[in-house]
Amino acid sequence: MLQLQSMQSTEPGVIQFKVETLHFRLALNPTSFQALQLKVAPNQGSEGSWETDDIVALEKFFDTKVRNTVNQLYLATIIFIYLLSYKRGLSLYKVI
């Protein structure tokens, strides 16, 4: 069973964690604060445990499946707030 260990991060908007052989860095895009980025690297001493192609596949999976879903939820929330505020005669800028 994998044990997930949280790691301290001094960077705002960054979460770091590790499992037995991999280190993960999850961060908001610093320019837009909307897109999530995942970087995966082998832990020290575990460099030979993972092929580079496997690590790239993990990052690409996150990029195509998870990040796009989060962006779609963000957009759907903004549209919902806009429609709700329009129906109530409110300005979108006052709602947000």
Walk along the chain (96 residues) and give the pLDDT tens digit of each residue. Answer: 667 788 888 887 788 988 888 999 988 777 766 677 889 999 988 888 888 999 999 898 888 877 777 767 766 776 666 666 655 555 544 444
Please state the domain count of the chain.
1
Report how far residue 6's alpha carbon sits from residue 71's, in angstroms, rounded to the nearest whole number: 25
Report how far residue 61's alpha carbon sits from residue 55's, in angstroms, rounded to the nearest whole number: 10
- Give the residue numbers spanning the domain of 51: 5-95
**Burial degree of 71 (CB within 10 A; 0-12, 13-18, 19+):** middle
Report how far residue 20's alpha carbon sits from residue 86's, in angstroms, rounded to the nearest whole number: 50
In this prediction the pTM is 0.65
Query: Of all helices (H) and strands (E), which one includes residue 28?
Result: strand 22-28
Question: Which residues are paired to 94 by β-bridges?
Answer: none
